[in-house]
C-alpha cells in the first residue's frame, strides 16, 4: 500500500452544494418563466439568474478543488 491518501477539500464539497442548489433554483426559474407568479418583480426572473450565478460559482470550485489535481510545488 502507498502512504498517499486521497483527501477531498472542503471547498470541493462546497462546490457540489452550490452547483446542486444552482440547478434547483435555475429549474424553478425556468418553470416561473413559463408560469409567472403574481408578485412584484416577476418579470426580472431573478430566480433564474441567481441559479446561474450559483452554477458558475459551484463550477469554479469544482474545477479548482477537484480531487487528484496536482498542486504547484508538490
Contact 14, 30 (CB under 8 A): no
Contact 65, 15 (CB under 8 A): yes
Q: What percent of the chain has pLDDT over 90?
A: 74
Contact 49, 29 (CB under 8 A): yes
Residue 67 has pLDDT above 90, yes or no: no
Can you give the pLDDT at residue 7?
Answer: 80
Residue 8 has pLDDT above 90, yes or no: no
Q: Which residues contact 58 (CB under 8 A, 6 or more apart)?
A: 14, 15, 16, 17, 18, 19, 20, 21, 22
Can you give the pLDDT at residue 72?
Answer: 62
Contact 14, 54 (CB under 8 A): no
Can you give the pLDDT at residue 20?
Answer: 98
Amino acid at each position: 500500500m502507498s502512504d498517499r491518501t486521497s483527501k477531498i477539500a472542503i471547498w470541493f464539497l462546497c462546490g457540489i452544494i452550490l452547483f446542486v442548489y444552482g440547478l434547483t433554483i435555475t429549474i424553478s426559474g425556468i418553470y416561473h418563466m413559463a408560469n409567472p407568479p403574481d408578485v412584484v418583480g416577476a418579470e426580472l426572473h431573478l430566480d433564474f439568474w441567481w441559479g446561474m450565478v450559483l452554477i458558475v460559482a459551484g463550477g469554479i470550485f469544482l474545477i479548482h478543488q477537484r480531487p487528484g489535481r496536482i498542486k504547484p510545488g508538490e
